[in-house]
Amino acid sequence: MRAPRIYIDTSVVGGCLDDEFSIPSRALFEKARQGKALFLVSGLLMRELSKAPENVRRVLTGMPPSCVEVIADSVDARELREAYLKARVVGRASTNDAFHVALATVARADLVVSWNFKHVVHYDKIRMFNAVNLMRGYSAIEIRSPLEVV
């Protein structure tokens, strides 16, 4: 059985250094190190991390390359992000959150993992993201917190 392809957003990386979220976040990173998960990393994540403190950036840069698959931003992902915004899954202020889900969907990730309970890991939002996905010909995507995956 192949390792699940897990799209991680910035909150998961930062969660490794957060008192409240560090144990499950670090466990998820360990799962990837053991070959039991493959992290999908986008240009958006890298741009967001470039603004983070060095110790946060090191969490991801310290991962073996075999644990990480870099996915490219694409026209399809940008169009799907706009469809999420038009459907009011999230507001314009949460454009990056919509883009994370769109990138994961277009890359056919097995799931999105995030600590963002307001705009991503939220029952109503998940249903709405998936409704747009299905209307646009994409598969539904699983969205979970690290706690649900480790």
As a whole number, the mean pLDDT across the chain is 96
Sequence letter at residue 117:
F
Cβ-in-10-Å burial (0-12, 13-18, 19+) of 51 comes to exposed
CATH of the domain at 122: 3.40.50.1010
Q: Which amino acid is at 145?
A: S
* Predicted confidence (pLDDT) at residue 24 exceeds the cutoff of 90: yes
Distance of CA 8 to the CA centre of its chain: 3
pLDDT for position 115: 98
Q: Which residues 6+ apart lie within 8 Å of 103 measured at CB?
A: 7, 40, 42, 44, 71, 73, 74, 77
- The torsion angles phi and psi of 34, rounded to 5 degrees, stand at -85, 0
Name the pLDDT band for 1 (thresholds 50, 70, 90): confident
pLDDT attached to residue 57: 93
65's CB contacts (< 8 A; 6+ apart) are none
What are the tens digits of pLDDT across the range 30-45?
Answer: 999 999 999 999 999 9
What is the mean pLDDT of the segment spanning 64-80? 96
Mean pLDDT, rounded, for 86-113: 98
Interior angle at CA 115, CA 56 and CA 84, nearest 5: 110
Question: What's the domain count of the chain?
Answer: 1
Determine the structural domain holding residue 94 and report its residue range.
Answer: 5-149
pLDDT band at residue 68 using 50, 70 and 90 as cut-offs? very high
d(CA 26, CA 146) in angstroms, rounded, equals 9
pLDDT higher than 90, residue 147:
yes
Distance of CA 107 to the CA centre of its chain: 11
Share of the chain above pLDDT 70, in %: 100
71 pLDDT band (50/70/90 cuts)? very high
